[in-house]
A = this chain, B = another copy of it.
Amino acid sequence: MSEISKLTHPRVIDGWFREISDEYFPGQAMMLRVEEILLAEKSEFQDILVFKSTDYGNVLVLDGIIQVTERDEFAYQEMITHLPMFSHPNPKRVLVIGGGDGGVLREVVKHPSVESATLVEIDSTIIDLSRKYLPGMSSALDHPKVKICIQDGFKFLEEASEKFDVIITDSSDPEGPAEAFFQENYFHLLKSALSPNGIVISQASENIWLKIANLKKLKNICEKVFSQVKYSYCTIPTYTSGQLGLMVCTDSPEIELITPSRRVSRKEESALFRYYNSEIHTQSFVLPTWADKVING
């Protein structure tokens, strides 16, 4: 038995990781079968677990919640990136807050219009472990257009003088280091860091099948700050209930959030993206009747 295979984590029992959280999803839990625990430690900010799963590739877990698996991460990374990027007519300067794994950056730099992509991640451990265990995501961390700041996103925005065309908040959930990213102050800071046609998008932590009231609450907060706020989602099997909500906002009347302002050919789409396409861009804003009533009613 090698040294590494002796690692343990309280959430891994009998060879299965259990994502149990009374706070986020009482009474339901996802299990993934573990082949080997690769990393189990506490950083300055959070509890970190990386394991090799039998069927989902390597998996990153922060404070007990699955953040990415190699098998399905593209769904989330592509949608949180390309919804604002394709709604914007010419995104040159992009800011990513959180997302130290590099997956969102990988998608951002697919747009030739991008001149700079700035990553602000509070926890350098995430970047280091991604380079080691998530090569399909971390490769973009070394892209020549990418700048990395190890800093709290909130503080970065308070001090920033630069303006951005697209800002993507790729955070963990509200309990823990990402708490501030779900409050009104944060959206005011985002707004002040946007160029005139700028767009922001945030992972909404919830989805329509969980605490839908929290989505409505987040949308109300965003609507205090931005004139256009739309709820979208992507399907992704390893997030609770199989989907993750996304909140897209802009203050520009010239931006159409639901319809892409630019399109690439079907062939190019198929070469560049595994999840995103121009139909699914628009489709992702259509909700089941009850959810539409709560969120958009």
A32-83 interface with B by 8 A CB criterion:
32-33, 53-56, 72, 75
Asked if A221 is at the interface (CB within 8 A of a chain B CB), the reply is no
Residues of B within 8 A of A56 (CB): 27-28
Residues of B within 8 A of A16 (CB): 29
Asked if A31 is at the interface (CB within 8 A of a chain B CB), the reply is yes
Whole-angstrom distance between the alpha carbons of A158 and B195 in the complex? Answer: 67
Whole-angstrom distance between the alpha carbons of A55 and B240 in the complex? Answer: 14
Asked if A276 is at the interface (CB within 8 A of a chain B CB), the reply is yes
Asked if A161 is at the interface (CB within 8 A of a chain B CB), the reply is no
Q: How large is the interface on A (under 10, 10 to 19, 20 to 34, 35 or more residues)?
A: 35 or more
Partner of A32, one of B27, B55, B242, B270: B27
Asked if A148 is at the interface (CB within 8 A of a chain B CB), the reply is no
With A277-B288, A289-B275 already in contact, the answer to whether A30 and B30 are too (CB < 8 A) is yes
In the assembled complex, the CB of A8 is this many whole angstroms from the nearest CB of chain B, namely: 19
Residues of B within 8 A of A240 (CB): 237
Stretch in contact with the other chain, from A87-95, A162-170, A279-287: A279-287
- Across the two chains, which residue of chain B brings its CB closest to A293? B270
0/1 interface trace, chain A 204-241, chain B, CB 8 Å (1 if under): 00000100000000000000000000000001111011
Q: List 11 A-B contacts (CB under 8 A).
A: A26-B55, A27-B33, A27-B55, A28-B31, A28-B33, A28-B237, A30-B30, A209-B235, A235-B241, A277-B289, A280-B288
Leading 9 A-B pairs by shortest Cβ distance: A242-B242, A27-B55, A237-B241, A29-B31, A27-B54, A275-B288, A27-B33, A283-B286, A274-B290
